[in-house]
Structure 1
Amino acid sequence: MKLTGISGSVVGEKTSQAVHDVLMTAKRLDPSLEIELIDLKEYDVEMVRGFPLAGYNQDTWDVVNKITTADALVIGSPIYQASISGVLKNLFDHLPVNAFKAKVTAMVTTGGVEKHFLVSEYQLKPILSYLKGMVPTYSVFVHNDDFNDDNEITNPIVNERISKLSEEILQLHNALQHKKG
């Protein structure tokens, strides 16, 4: 199984670290996992301009291909102005409508306002559902105060949610594979 994480931020490290923690926790639960982190700050994903993917640069192609060939996804976004990041929304606009069909699509968000945990449920989840993703019941919101100066998550409640989300990703993926077989 290939579990791919997406850090939908072009600044800072918190979102990338939170997604990385989910990937590593899942890998500890299932050492056979192939994991990869797509940190969007390392790619030049072009803005959607309304034409087919063939008209975009190699980075855009590479990121879309990595996402569409993954078996399951951990999608992370910082919350800005009560919304997911523009770079993540732009990436979603590049994807075909069935991009997440039969794939577990987990949500991880970071932010500085406690109530921003609602963005996952009311904004990100509908997008993932539209793209036919199977969204776990668990999600992870990490407040900026839950990170130490080295960007490590220090809140034990958040770390427990990361563990539960990782377990659920694997369980749902296995159930989907069993249903296919």
Structure 2
Amino acid sequence: MKIVGVSGSMIGSKTVKVVNEVLEAVKRKSPVVETELIDLKEYEVDWVRGLPLEAYNDDTQNVVEKIIAADALIFGTPIYQASISGVLKNLFDHLPMGVFQSKVTGIVTTAGSERHFLVAEYQLKPILQFLKATVPNTQVFAVNGSFNENNEIVDQEVLTRMDVLAEAIVQQ
């Protein structure tokens, strides 16, 4: 089983940190699971122009192919202006309809304040469901106060949610 985590942030390190920690929790629960982290900061995914995938650059094709080949996924996004990141939405626009049929897709969001808690529920979850994903009830939401000065997650509720999400993904 291959689980891919995608961090949809172009700046900062909190989103990629939480996505990676969920992947690590998955490995602790099931050591035979193969995981991979895709940090969109490290790729130049082309903006969608309505062309076939083959018309886009190698990074775009590579990321899309890894996502399509995954058995389960974890999508992470920072919340900007009460919305998911543009780079993550752009990535979703590259994916074919029904790409997540029968795949569990976990949600991780990070934000500056608790006011953005429902963005995942009202924006990210509908996109994933439109692409036919199975979305667990458990999500991970972390705010700046969930981290210490060394960028370590110190909020016990966030740590618990990461563990529960990892369990939901492994049990698929």
- Fold agreement, TM-score > 0.5: yes
SS of corresponding position for 1:64: helix
Superposition deviation, residue 38 in structure 1: 0.2
Unaligned runs of 5+ in 2: none
- Structure 1 stretches of 4+ with a deviation exceeding 2 A read none
State the partner residue of 1:158: 158
SS of corresponding position for 1:165: helix
Do residues 88 (structure 1) and 88 (structure 2) align?
A: yes
Unaligned runs of 5+ in 1: 174-181
Output the amino acid matched with 2:7.
S
SS of corresponding position for 1:153: coil
Superposition deviation, residue 54 in structure 1: 1.0
Length, aligned pairs only: 172
Superposition deviation, residue 133 in structure 1: 0.4
Output the amino acid matched with 1:81.
Q
Superposition deviation, residue 49 in structure 1: 0.8
Length-normalised TM-score, structure 2 = 0.98
Q: Deviations over 1:13-72 (max 9, x none)?
A: 100000001000010000001000000000000000111111100000000000000000
Superposition deviation, residue 144 in structure 1: 1.0
Do residues 61 (structure 1) and 61 (structure 2) align?
A: yes
CA distance in 2, matches of 1:86, 1:143: 19
Output the amino acid matched with 2:150.
D
Superposition CA RMSD, Å: 0.6
Show the 5 A alignment for 1:111-130. 111-130=111-130
SS of corresponding position for 1:25: helix
Output the amino acid matched with 1:11.
I
Q: Deviations over 1:111-147 (max 9, x none)?
A: 0120211011000000000000000010000011111
CA distance in 1, matches of 2:100, 2:10: 23
Q: Deviations over 1:143-177 (max 9, x none)?
A: 11111122111101110011111111111x2xxxx
Do residues 29 (structure 1) and 29 (structure 2) align?
A: yes
State the partner residue of 1:106: 106
